């Protein structure tokens, strides 16, 4: 069975599940306002979980270049992301900052936000997301160091349970020289806070 055919079958079955969910919470799935909700939900969840179907190498598409003597940090900060908490299927979102210390290679500027998007478009934990981004940059560039810092707001924390409105979760991952050298790590954190 082809991938496209399998994806189409998944999309066709998601509306059935959404209709059942509407019924289970006490809603009439035939009510005018929600009649098209199951199909809309199927398209939305397919987009929000689209990272499972993306290949990092295809996304990078050869956009790795010689560093040409660049010895300073390369930082892309405040990359917006949206994801779904794997425990509650509720959204969490925020900003990601990614830095690397080039060794012999650099990557096209747009590829770092795209890497963030691939991993955030899956059911996630912020801790795992942070590490996946750092490990991917390290694997593709073999830099001297990598730093990733994520600030996120989680609707599972704000809308239910503790109802901790406005709280923020911060996670970080440091590899290589950014982990081992306090001066380089401090430079990364100072650049983020500018």
pLDDT band (50, 70, 90) for residue 71: confident
Could you give the CA distance from residue 80 to residue 45 in angstroms, rounded to a whole number?
A: 19
> Both 42 and 63 in a single domain?
no
Report the percentage of the chain scoring pLDDT > 90. Answer: 92
> Both 90 and 167 in a single domain?
yes
Closest by CA to 91, choosing from 66, 123, 114, is: 123
> Both 61 and 155 in a single domain?
yes
**For the sheet containing 74-85, what is the strand order?**
123-124, 74-85, 91-101, 145-154, 169-176
pLDDT band (50, 70, 90) for residue 69: confident
Task: Tell me the pTM.
Answer: 0.91
Residue 86 annotated among the catalytic residues of the structure: yes
Catalytic residue chosen out of the listed positions 20, 23, 47, 86: 86
Instruction: Look at strands 105-107 and 91-101 and give their pairing.
Output: unpaired
Residue 168 annotated among the catalytic residues of the structure: no
pLDDT band (50, 70, 90) for residue 7: low
> Which residues have CB under 8 Å from 47's CB, separation 6+?
121
> Both 77 and 44 in a single domain?
no
Number of structural domains found in the chain: 2
> Both 82 and 66 in a single domain?
yes
Catalytic residue chosen out of the listed positions 117, 124, 154, 187: 154
> Both 43 and 59 in a single domain?
no
When pLDDT is averaged across residues 171-185 and rounded to a whole number, the result is: 98
Q: Within 10 Å of residue 76's Cβ, how many Cβ atoms?
A: 18
Torsion angle of the four alpha carbons 7, 36, 92, 132, in this order, in degrees rounded to the nearest 10: 10
Question: What pLDDT sits at residue 2?
Answer: 55
Question: What pLDDT sits at residue 70?
Answer: 75
Catalytic residue chosen out of the listed positions 87, 104, 127, 168: 87
Summarised one tens digit per residue, pLDDT across range 45-54 is: 999 999 999 9
Q: Is the pLDDT of residue 8 over 80?
A: no
Cβ distance 15 to 42 under 8 Å? yes
Residue 54 annotated among the catalytic residues of the structure: no
Summarised one tens digit per residue, pLDDT across range 91-123 is: 999 999 999 999 999 999 999 999 999 999 999
Domain residues for the domain of 40 are 3-48
Residue 82 annotated among the catalytic residues of the structure: no
CA atoms within 13 A on the CB side of 176: 20
> Cα-flanking dihedrals φ and ψ of residue 32, to 5°?
-50, -45
pLDDT band (50, 70, 90) for residue 32: very high
> Both 152 and 79 in a single domain?
yes
Residue 88 annotated among the catalytic residues of the structure: yes
Question: What pLDDT sits at residue 6?
Answer: 56
């Amino acid at each position: 069975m082809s991938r496209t055919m399998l994806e189409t079958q998944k999309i066709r079955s998601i509306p059935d599940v959404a209709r059942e969910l509407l019924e289970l919470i006490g809603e009439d799935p035939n009510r005018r306002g929600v009649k098209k909700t199951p199909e809309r939900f199927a398209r939305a969840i397919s987009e929000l979980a689209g990272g499972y179907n993306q290949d990092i190498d295809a996304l990078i598409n050869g956009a790795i270049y010689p560093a040409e003597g660049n010895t300073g940090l390369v930082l892309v900060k405040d990359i917006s992301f949206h994801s779904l908490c794997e425990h509650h299927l509720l959204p969490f979102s925020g900003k990601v900052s990614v830095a690397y210390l080039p060794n012999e290679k650099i990557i096209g500027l747009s590829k770092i936000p795209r890497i963030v998007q691939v991993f955030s478009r899956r059911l996630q934990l912020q801790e795992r997301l942070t590490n996946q981004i750092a490990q991917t940059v390290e694997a593709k560039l073999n830099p001297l160091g990598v730093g990733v810092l994520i600030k996120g707001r989680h609707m599972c924390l704000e809308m239910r349970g503790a109802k901790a409105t406005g709280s923020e979760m911060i996670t970080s991952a440091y590899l290589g020289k950014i982990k081992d050298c306090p001066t380089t790590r401090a430079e990364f954190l100072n650049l983020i806070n500018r």
